Structure 1
């Protein structure tokens, strides 16, 4: 008999010696809210001190996936309100109201604290990365100790599509992928297969989706080390493992040079040409920001990478491109964002630098 402690947008239950977290917003593809993030962290803290809970598992309700990311529709509404209050002055151009407090800032702080706690959790943290796992979904899973993908997994960090940059510790994870594959994944937002995710270091094990229920039941009475050999399978080879053109292009100094190289390589490699076209559709500013952030995170501890991401988020909340990207993808759904600046070549170094400049009283600390 299991014991359920809370049911709502996120449900917690103990079955045998397994603590189960279920993201419970299937109609919204289990998108995260601030309350969900805070609840998860508090429950994990309780289970860490509970000797009856040996290991923890996180999963998504429904059959579409673990989590599609954060709930950014509410972020959009806040950005509209700020623009109206500040006379329409958004980055680039003017210094919008940094004195005004965003509820979204508290959301990001709570989410990043949860990501950080998952990464240092003292008990096995098992993530079922079945189906769609995007953005914030990567944050609640890829920092875990045992990360399981299936043939249905589609994993990605699509933030540049909405005028944002990979966060939830994504720059830290992507920065540690082989070669330049993490930069490629972070800038393009490409959906990674199970094999790709394992190759990039975002997941550990592959399991048939049909085995999930049986594996979950086994985890209630056995340790994860005993259960995994019963269900995991050898993953297919990642197509990205032999994509030498990725390292060739992304090893260059900035996104303008990268795209130019991709276009040149594209004469012989169709995937490179398609990647160049994809990058030119993303927010030019945030492609530059993400490029710098992922590279910088290679030399940072997780908490420092999260702090850097928080600084970027504080500025992005006051930007034109974040608001416009959400509008185009999720509000009006016309898929035709009007970026400012309009091209990669037009992005000023000073604008990129601003995203990395900490704002007083808007800094994230884990001390």
Structure 2
């Protein structure tokens, strides 16, 4: 892999090429990763995941690099998630091995980012969803702006939050993480800070100067120069009904409590849940509850890998992506169609050990039963 360091004759910074989906360059003490698929909202492909990992390896051992910065090309956002069209095609027409291999490398990258020995600055401007959360919210310095829209929207496509999302959301105050995981709701800067998905707020018009200053100053100096208080969020004022309703042990009871509460926003949340994949909702709730007991990101990623691989053999993943992304009719036909039809056995099947195909981040000897 080539990571160019020198300046161009025009005074800019040399990169690895404008046609590549991940651009790499260094400027002063900072090394930069730019996701470069703006037309696809910088959705992650397997090749992009591998390229980011290779760059982190090179920079980890480069004494000239003190800070790593990740941004997204274009004006719409950092990253809208993984390349779910590829997952759709693999689940529908293939044997699932390509998706499983992609997730294996992606989840390893998520864990690596969480433990990276140098400051990893994620600029979470604009849309940051799914896999975009995985490459940013595990970083040590997470920046949001007034344009940030952060979400784990997987239940809307018949999938379950992954990339360590169930770990992050299980740590959110009260039941905020449960609300976000089940509904897939998008949140802004203040709510991302409240839920522990981000660390600092920087106005979008200050981002260029913020990133430029990382070439010459320490991360602490740059943060002190540019961070501000975010605009007011929404979730803090909704904690009463969110905590009361989502503390229930079943999705059916959560929906019942939301509908009975009386708050308009609670009713809207219930209505949203009733449009999501019933199977994905029940597996997501179980995954979140298990994540609280598993204790480490690595154990949770191991669990998420089992769940993700199980989703490849279910009808809802293909149908959800078809309805939301391929045909865009926004009318998925879930199977089973109702919460009542999804059995405990159906849910437990998604957590079954993969044997020799386990992700294995938590090391040998860890089993799905550890979450029980």
Tell me if TM exceeds 0.5: yes
2:125 counterpart (106, 125, 130): 130
5 Å matches for 1:7-18? Answer: 8-18=20-30
**Cα offset, 1:129, TM superposition:** 0.2
Whole-angstrom CA distance in 2 between matches of 1:5 and 1:335:
39
SS of 1:22's equivalent in the other structure is strand
**Cα offset, 1:239, TM superposition:** 1.5
Is the contact between residue 284 and residue 341 of structure 1 (CA under 8 Å) also seen in structure 2?
yes
2:273 counterpart (274, 279, 292): 279
| Equivalent residue number for residue 247 of structure 2 | 251
Is the contact between residue 139 and residue 168 of structure 1 (CA under 8 Å) also seen in structure 2?
yes
| Equivalent residue number for residue 59 of structure 2 | 47
| Equivalent residue number for residue 304 of structure 2 | 309
**Cα offset, 1:291, TM superposition:** 0.6
| Equivalent residue number for residue 66 of structure 1 | 78
Residue 293, structure 1, aligned to residue 287, structure 2: yes
Whole-angstrom CA distance in 2 between matches of 1:135 and 1:343:
25
Is the contact between residue 3 and residue 15 of structure 1 (CA under 8 Å) also seen in structure 2?
no
SS of 2:273's equivalent in the other structure is helix
Whole-angstrom CA distance in 2 between matches of 1:299 and 1:350:
21
Query: Unaligned 5+ residue runs, structure 2?
Result: 1-6, 8-12, 364-372
> Where does structure 1 differ by over 6 angstroms across 4 or more consecutive aligned residues?
none
1:327 counterpart (296, 312, 322): 322
Deviations 1:118-170 (A, max 9, x none): 00000000000000000000001000000000000000000000000000000
Is the contact between residue 183 and residue 273 of structure 2 (CA under 8 Å) also seen in structure 1?
yes
What's the C-alpha RMSD, in Å, of the aligned pairs? 1.1
1:81 counterpart (93, 96, 99): 93
Whole-angstrom CA distance in 2 between matches of 1:212 and 1:13:
18
Whole-angstrom CA distance in 2 between matches of 1:342 and 1:227:
51
SS of 1:247's equivalent in the other structure is helix
Q: Which has the higher contact order (CA 8 A, sep 6+)?
A: 1
Whole-angstrom CA distance in 1 between matches of 2:256 and 2:96:
40
Whole-angstrom CA distance in 2 between matches of 1:299 and 1:53:
37
Is the contact between residue 328 and residue 334 of structure 1 (CA under 8 Å) also seen in structure 2?
yes
**Cα offset, 1:3, TM superposition:** 4.6
Deviations 1:5-28 (A, max 9, x none): 465111111111100000000000
Query: Unaligned 5+ residue runs, structure 1?
Result: 83-99
Whole-angstrom CA distance in 1 between matches of 2:274 and 2:213:
47
5 Å matches for 1:1-367? Answer: 1=7, 2-5=13-16, 8-82=20-94, 100=95, 102-243=97-238, 244-265=240-261, 268-300=262-294, 301-366=296-361, 367=363
The TM-score, its normalising length taken from structure 2, stands at: 0.92
SS of 1:195's equivalent in the other structure is helix
Whole-angstrom CA distance in 2 between matches of 1:336 and 1:20:
40
